Structure formats: structure tokens, C-alpha cells
Amino acid sequence: MNWFQKPKYPVKEQLPRIEHHEKLPEGAVELARTTDPNEGDTVVFVQQRDHLSILKADSWLLKDGTLNYVCSQADFPLGVLPWFADTLTEFRKPPAQGGLHAGAMTSADEDVEGEMLCIQRAMNAGRGVGGYIIINRSRKDHSARLEEHFSPHRITFADNFLYDAGLLDLIKDLGEKNRRGEL
């Protein structure tokens, strides 16, 4: 039995890996920065050419006094910004208003600038709060250790981060800038 996940779509070449949110590679531009109210992670939106890398960075002291630092990275086409705001609105509509069927947990895969994206409902997006996951099925996650195992890029945002802490407004603003060709 083979337990390795295979990609559903052609896999795109990896973007440069960003090891630290304060040390961006040459040519990368920080578009925005915010703090996740649940975990305290720093979330940074970084433009790498015509792509977007969303970084989640956190650090903490270990018992021995050593500083532990983690910076995760999820990559998408820049078009994810307007797409996410629009698709999330449709995803949340009740079935009677043209939304997904009752109990739906995932949107259909959609081609966004040549990459296959979807939104999934997350039941626990941080500290018992629900949220949403953006999945890019066209890119292999940087943390996938085994060459033969495919794990898509994904990032999860809690409802209270999106709606109460202003993340969705930030994404909408960046999406409008992208639509106007300002990114």
C-alpha cells in the first residue's frame, strides 16, 4: 500500500524559501504585516515577482533559554488576494442565496493565474476558533520532507483574525491594488 499523496495537478517550481521574515530575498517586497490575535504570530505578505508568499513567524524561549524561531511560508499567485475575498463571500452564502450546499466544507478547485486554489472550512483554526484554509494544489509545501510525498501549500486564518482583527479588510485592500495593477 502506498500512503504517499500524489499531486492532482502539475506542480509549479518552488519560489525562493524565506527563512526569516525580517530577511527577505533580493527582489522580494513586503506588502503588509499584521499580528494573529490568537497565537501572536507575525503574518507578513511578501511579493516575489508575480507571486505572493504569506509568512507566519513566531519565536519563543525554550526551557534552557535558547530562542526557537519558526517561519512558515505558503506561496500563491498574486491573484489569490482578490480571489480569496470574492470566493470567501460566495463560500459563506447560504444555499438559498446560491452558496454551496448545506454542510459543504470545501469550495471547488479554481484556476487562479495558472494555479489551482480552493478554500476549506477549518473547525479549529486556533484556540478553538473556526476559520478558513487557502490551499494551493499547484505547489509542494516547503516542509514536505520526502521527495515522493506531495503536500500542497496551505495557510489557515481564524474567523476572529479575518473579521474582527481586520485581516479580511487588509486582503481586500491588497486585492484591489492588484486589480488596479499597483502590485
In the chain, where the domains are located: 29-179
pTM equals 0.89
pLDDT tens digits, 20-70: 999 999 999 999 999 999 889 999 999 999 999 999 999 888 888 888 899
Helix, strand, or coil (residue 174) = helix
**Rounded CA separation 33/27 (Å):** 18
Residues 62-87 pLDDT 10s: 888 888 899 999 999 999 999 999 99
Distance CA 148, CA 127 (A): 33
| CB contact at 8 A, 115 and 76 | yes
Q: Select the CATH number that applies to the domain covering 29-179 from these four: 1.10.3470, 3.30.2450, 3.40.50, 3.30.70.
A: 3.30.2450
| Contact present, 143 and 72 (Cβ < 8 Å) | yes
**Mind listing the pLDDT tens digit for each residue in 104-162?**
688 889 999 999 999 999 988 877 889 999 999 999 887 756 566 788 999 999 999 99
Measured distance CA(155)–CA(161) in Å, rounded: 13
| DSSP strands (E only) in 62-130 | 67-77, 110-112, 115-122
| Mean pLDDT rounded to a whole number for the chain | 88
Query: What pLDDT is stored for residue 114 in this prediction?
Result: 96
